[in-house]
Amino acid sequence: MKLSPRSATPRNLRWFLALPKFGSILLIVAVVTLLWLLHQNELEEERTGLIKDVLWLEQILRFQLNGNEERLQQLVYDLAASNDRNALFRLRAKHLLSINPEISQISWLDAKRNEVDALPSGLQVKTDTNEAGSAVRQRAFEMARRIGEPVYSEPLLLNGLSAVFEVSLPIYIDRRFAGTLTATYPLQTLLNSQVPWWFAEKYQVVVVDDNDTEYAAKSNIKGTPSLFYELPFDPPGHGLKLHVTSYKSAVNPLQRLLAIAIMVLAVGVFWSLWIVRDLMKKRSQTEQALRAEHAFRTAMEDSLTVGMRARDLHGGIIYVNPAFCKMTGFTQDELFRAKPPMPYWVPEQIDETFAIHQAVLAGNAPKEGFEISFRRKNGEHFDALIYEAKLIDGNGQHTGWMASVIDISERKRAAELARQQQEQLQFTARLVTMGEMASTLAHELNQPLAAISSYNTGCLNLMDATDCTIADIRPAMEKIGIQAQRAGKIIRRVHDFVRKSAPKRAPCQIADVIDDCLGFIEADARKRHVLINCTVPELPDILADRLMLEQVLLNLMRNAMEAMANTTSANRRLEISVLLRSEEMEIRVSDRGCGMTDEIKDKLFTAFFSTKPEGMGIGLSVCRSIVEFHRGRLWAESNPEGGMIFHVTLPVEKQ
């Protein structure tokens, strides 16, 4: 049945899907009915087989008992005709016992029921001691004498343990009753010898009477009874019955497997049709949701500012988003299926870019991303930061690489501007420091200039004297030169300190840096009555910008002297020490000032934070930036002897 689009309404679709489900239900009912009929047929066949087997067993037992009866009857005839009856009895009885294991004893009784002979002997006496057994034997004996035919006795117990029955055959000599020939049959022995093993493997055979008293049983199986069948056990009769029970046999695994498979198949068909119904019901909803999702993802991709680029395992582009196209200036059609070299690669860097491309395809792209230069369609270059990740499909297979591309040109320009501003801030800090030291430097320069003026006046006075010689003027002129060099050295040091220059790391001796700093602050230290103690061992050269390090140490030294303004003159000590470790060098600047609280320590290196009323709050912030530029650390901690200790660590690098 084929539904047209017009007729495939939800109502018609429900009716259409109901037909297969109705057929599936009929199939399940038919299968269940078929299995039930097969089970009933199996039960009927099992019952028929049970009846046939029981009738066969009854026939076997009857045939055996009748055959034994005929052989005993022949012995009776031979005894009546023989002259040596005792010898004949023993010979023939012994033979009968050997070929008929179901017979436990053959006895010869006279007319008064006295035992003439018996094989084996002794059983008669034991049964006779039982009054019930004696009465049973007496009735059988009397019946055989009256009717003159073989008589089977009622079942009796031998020593109260095993059930037996006897067959008594009358003996007539010269037509006169001369006694009986009696054969004893234990019921259990009879079953054991006459019920074959295969029969015992299938059934349980029990000999019972009308009161369901069990006399003997044989079975080699255990389990749950299924069917049973009874028929009279005659001979010996007297209400004895053969009760045969069959047990549940193992079900054919193939048949059970086939039935289970059919049921599972029917249930599976029904379930699959139900699933198809739900799928068709949800199909229109899914299509609508898919359209909405596609529109949402398209809007999201269009709003992204991060470029997305997907490549296959061979490096060919299989997807780019609008942000990447806008970033490079190429359209999606121009980039789709593009192979290396890509149109946005910089021609001057083609070898380097291709090497990075190969590293990405080999899975060696750094997780933290890498920077690379690209070219726009108009020829403009820009810097990009790329993060590469594996592209995994729905089956978990690695099918390519997905890259997130970020244009960092503006970021790098901002970083460069920030670097320039930092340098300007450092230069400003040096100017501020220089301004604060202006009076001290003026006093420092005043001494050599005053000495030069004094020596110059002395020389002029000597030259006016009539007895003046060159030897008299030379010492004064030499001292003028020394003082002039001293003034020039101070001016050059100030000039170098305030000179604006780009950071430049070069080998330098930290001892020389500390010595220059001490030259700046010695005059101020004398003025403040601060004793400077400097301990600098022999140190290797380090790679650093000497001017920046002077700025850091000079700032720390000046802060230390200012912190000791309220300290007594005897305790105003500024200690500078240098420790050398395996991979770094530590400079310590210690003072005996007032110290700092924990709250101030947390804000100490924050920009524009200052504890001085007239301070700008940029000194320590700039110092930390300079130290971190040199890949070192700057921190402060309390001095156990009072005051603070500032620590500066610098890496010791191989040049």
DSSP string over 244-303: EEEEPPPPPHHHHHHHHHHHHHHHHHHHHHHHHHHHHHHHHHHHHHHHHHHHHHHHHHHH
User: How high is the pLDDT of residue 399?
Assistant: 84
What strands, in cross-sheet order, belong to the sheet with 225-232?
Answer: 214-218, 203-208, 241-247, 225-232
Kindly state the average pLDDT of the residues 260-279.
72
Kindly state the average pLDDT of the residues 435-456.
59
Band the pLDDT of 126: cuts 50, 70, 90: very low
Q: Is 391 a residue whose pLDDT tops 60? A: yes
The count of C-alpha atoms lying within 13 angstroms of the C-alpha of 49, restricted to the half-sphere facing its C-beta, is 13
Kindly state the average pLDDT of the residues 166-170.
91
Residue 94: strand, helix, or coil: helix
User: How high is the pLDDT of residue 46?
Assistant: 81
Indicate the DSSP class of residue 620: H
Query: What is the 3-state composition of the chain as percent helix, strand, coil, each rounded to the nearest 5?
Result: 50, 20, 25
User: How high is the pLDDT of residue 4?
Assistant: 42
DSSP string over 441-503: HHHHHHHHHHHHHHHHHHHHHHHHSTT--HHHHHHHHHHHHHHHHHHHHHHHHHHHHH-----
Encode burial over 475-509: b for 16+ CB neighbours within 10 A, e otherwise: ebeebbeebeebbeebeebbeebeeeeeeeeeebe
User: How high is the pLDDT of residue 1?
Assistant: 38
- Using a cut of 0.85, tell me whether the model's pTM lies above it: no
Kindly state the average pLDDT of the residues 308-321.
85
User: How high is the pLDDT of residue 443?
Assistant: 47
- Each residue of 6-50: pLDDT tens digit? 444 555 555 665 666 676 677 677 777 877 887 778 778 888 888
Q: Mean pLDDT, the chain, as a whole number?
A: 78
Q: Is 625 a residue whose pLDDT tops 50? A: yes
Residue of 29, 28, 31, 36 whose CA lies nearest to 271: 28
Residue 18: strand, helix, or coil: helix
User: How high is the pLDDT of residue 160?
Assistant: 55
Question: How many of the other CB atoms lie within 10 Å of CB of 447?
Answer: 14
Strand-pair partners of 534: 576
Identify the H or E element spanning 651: strand 644-651
- Each residue of 184-198: pLDDT tens digit? 888 888 888 888 888
